[in-house]
Structure 1
């Protein structure tokens, strides 16, 4: 039996963004699975809306990562006058109806027949009608209704959740908390984050020179340094444990957010690095930190960094968040980031995981195992009515 036709859409970043970061976030990994799965035949990949001006500038600017196109596979970028979504909910609905029309035209040109749609944008899932599709699935990696950087869009996201619920759209989410907040009436699954065994198996790589220059013991936090990180708590931990070298590895979009950390002698902030260097850095530290604030946003996420910490064999010291509690017994819980000192001591005493246990964790939590469940949901069969026509998705 031949594979199904699929449409995949990013949320607010593009295919070029995904390639630039090493195809490492959950939506990127799902796309990789779609590109390689024998269950998928035709595939349309859609970037989010971009403005006419930004698309023109990119064309002038030079090379872009090459997408593996074929007769029935393509990457598209729908365009409009403004890049940003309007804030008014009716205007958002109208905008995503236009997005739907653009995708339908491209799908028709590729010869896609009643494709299954999977989108990482709740506004696309809710407000693009997709009357030409067989099924629609929303993949949720965050709860957008608690994401502070997009607070002006919270009314639109809440309306989107209601529509996803009422339209019985399928939901695959990285945590049960997100599923509970959406409360879908259609099929739903929880698919936590995972790891790529190819990155984590084998002997430990040589540590990067910048990290090797930092004395041990080293406690590392990986990820974007933004509102999720408890900056005040990290400063308190560093002050309380001057012998512990704390490494924050990742981009800091707002320099002011980390300004108060830069004068602390045992606290080291390093810009984001490529995947190989990230793996080498993690496998060269002694303990890892999930030093988040406890907020509605962090309570709903499945922290990718924790899976990567454990894949590296590190003990993890974390604040108490629901999605973290049952991942592994090598996660030690602290009341807060500022109070992590004694728990860090326990983690250092615990030491690195044995190699057999580390490999077992990597294999058990591989993206391949995660995505089988996602594909089963996306490619589900469903009877759909199109006016007088009855279509069976197979």
Structure 2
């Protein structure tokens, strides 16, 4: 397989956002692979649209991490007057403008019929990409199920139709996303994974704040938002006062988790860096996937489950389709509030042995995941795109 030129686009966050969070989300990991891959020659990385004024302000302040540019590696931030996407039919015209900005930058770099990999369904659907050799959409979430972006649901549904009808290649973290798009072109389920170097070696010392929490400790790591079943956590804590539940992650709305403050065996801690996260997980006794069951959570590939298992922990989870079959140490409970009996089974199973843990990490590495995505870009040949604007009706 000869090296080829690639264009990669983020969805709603930028390269600077990815660096600040430790390059830990699936799009960030894909970019890391592209930047290091011998199969990639020229690479154009595209941020989402930002306003003229915000980009100018950051340049004047010299905010954000520097992108490692070279003649064959470049970062571009297309700009417009408003940062937010418009509502309605003009969103198609907007993304044709995004296409033009990327084409100009690709031509400046001398990219030759690049393969496009995008994490934004609107980019995949509404950018013509007549200058590209192929387009692959990577779906990490089912956007029409995201309540935070409800006003764009008609645009996402129209994008799914366009992706399907244009036979654009689709890689998604779950079969549920594949089914909701129902692509006619190449497709592949590419679940989340882990970075082996992060999880290798002996158990590191526990942070002091974690050492102060009695065992057994059950950890939930991730953003403490509407996906977290707060009522279920409270019920589990009340029925299992011996179990100390550690909720680790940023809380965008502190009031959402405030009802848990009164529970002596629930410990809410802010988000931490990657090194400390690994230390926390490897010094707990079990882990929780305590989500509400919604169309969004039913379609996601929970990154935290792979990281829990990379730490060697048994997992107690609600029953979601993407967690089935990952590993025998993922135990299913009817709901978060009813996890008590399953917690006992998980504690009896205990942590993985080191050989088993190492084998799991190797099998589910990001490198293995991304080989499937790169293979998909080579299978996907861009069909002629309709010159008429896609309909949002």
TM tier, smaller: over 0.9
Q: Where do residues 16-165 of structure 1 align in structure 2 (5 Å cutoff)?
A: 16-88=16-88, 90-165=89-164
Q: Could you say what the CA RMSD is over the residues aligned between the two structures, in angstroms?
A: 1.3
Residue in structure 1 matched with residue 10 of structure 2 by the alignment: 10
- Residues 205 and 181 of structure 1: CA distance in aligned 2, closer, same or farther (over 3 Å): same
Say which is worse superposed, 49-58 or 152-161, in terms of deviation.
49-58
Is contact 2:166–2:383 with CA below 8 Å preserved after alignment? no
Q: Give structure 2 stretches of 5+ with no counterpart.
A: 387-393
Structure 1 SS opposite 2:241: coil
Residue in structure 1 matched with residue 217 of structure 2 by the alignment: 218
Structure 1 SS opposite 2:74: strand
Q: Note if 1:191 corresponds to 2:190.
A: yes
Tell me which of the two structures has the higher relative contact order, counting C-alpha pairs closer than 8 angstroms and 6 or more residues apart: 2
Q: Where do residues 161-310 of structure 1 align in structure 2 (5 Å cutoff)?
A: 161-310=160-309
Q: Deviations over 1:146-197 (max 9, x none)?
A: 0111111111100000000011110000000100000000100000111011
Q: Give the C-alpha shift of residue 60 in structure 1.
A: 3.1
Structure 2 SS opposite 1:269: strand
- Residues 300 and 381 of structure 1: CA distance in aligned 2, closer, same or farther (over 3 Å): closer
Q: Give the C-alpha shift of residue 236 in structure 1.
A: 0.8
Q: Give the C-alpha shift of residue 223 in structure 1.
A: 0.5
Is contact 2:288–2:317 with CA below 8 Å preserved after alignment? yes
In the alignment, the residues of structure 2 paired with residue 152 and residue 264 of structure 1 have an alpha-carbon distance, to the nearest angstrom, of 37
Structure 2 SS opposite 1:131: coil
- Residues 104 and 310 of structure 1: CA distance in aligned 2, closer, same or farther (over 3 Å): same
Is contact 2:167–2:383 with CA below 8 Å preserved after alignment? no
Structure 2 SS opposite 1:226: coil
In the alignment, the residues of structure 2 paired with residue 367 and residue 101 of structure 1 have an alpha-carbon distance, to the nearest angstrom, of 32
Q: Deviations over 1:36-63 (max 9, x none)?
A: 1111000000000001121122223334
Number of residue pairs matched by the alignment: 386
- Residues 290 and 385 of structure 1: CA distance in aligned 2, closer, same or farther (over 3 Å): closer
Residue in structure 2 matched with residue 315 of structure 1 by the alignment: 314
Structure 2 SS opposite 1:215: coil
Q: TM-score normalized by structure 1?
A: 0.96
- Residues 324 and 384 of structure 1: CA distance in aligned 2, closer, same or farther (over 3 Å): closer
Q: Deviations over 1:341-368 (max 9, x none)?
A: 1111111111111111111100111111
In the alignment, the residues of structure 1 paired with residue 52 and residue 382 of structure 2 have an alpha-carbon distance, to the nearest angstrom, of 38
Is contact 2:6–2:40 with CA below 8 Å preserved after alignment? yes
Structure 2 SS opposite 1:379: helix
Is contact 2:186–2:380 with CA below 8 Å preserved after alignment? no
Structure 1 SS opposite 2:262: coil
Is contact 1:4–1:379 with CA below 8 Å preserved after alignment? no
Is contact 1:2–1:41 with CA below 8 Å preserved after alignment? no
- Residues 133 and 383 of structure 1: CA distance in aligned 2, closer, same or farther (over 3 Å): closer
Q: Give the C-alpha shift of residue 80 in structure 1.
A: 0.4
Residue in structure 2 matched with residue 348 of structure 1 by the alignment: 347
